[in-house]
């Protein structure tokens, strides 16, 4: 092997190692982001259910008030 090929080989080995480390970091970040998005989706669903329940309760109160007004 010539010194230039040895340097190229060493460079390629180091480059592959660095890219592998970066790939692991990217994968970890992706998993963390996915978990965060899942938690946010769960919270949004719970908030939507609370809003629906509040709207249903408000509709019932409105109907009751309208019924009471009609009977007077």
- Dist. CA 67–CA 72, nearest whole Å: 9
Select the more confidently predicted residue: 4 or 30.
Answer: 30
Mean pLDDT calculated for residue range 14-23: 78
Classify residue 68: in a domain, yes or no: yes
Identify the domain containing residue 67 by its residue range: 45-72
* % of the chain residues with pLDDT over 90: 47
Classify residue 4: in a domain, yes or no: no
Classify residue 65: in a domain, yes or no: yes
Classify residue 70: in a domain, yes or no: yes
Mean pLDDT calculated for residue range 20-33: 82
Classify residue 11: in a domain, yes or no: no
Classify residue 61: in a domain, yes or no: yes
Classify residue 21: in a domain, yes or no: no
Total domain count, the chain: 1
């Amino acid at each position: 092997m010539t010194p230039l090929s040895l340097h190229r080989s060493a460079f390629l080995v180091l480059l592959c190692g660095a890219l592998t480390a970066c790939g692991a970091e990217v994968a970890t970040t992706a998993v963390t982001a996915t978990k965060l998005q899942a938690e946010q989706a769960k919270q949004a669903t719970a908030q939507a259910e609370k809003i629906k329940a509040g709207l249903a309760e408000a509709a019932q109160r409105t109907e009751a008030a309208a019924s009471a007004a009609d009977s007077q």
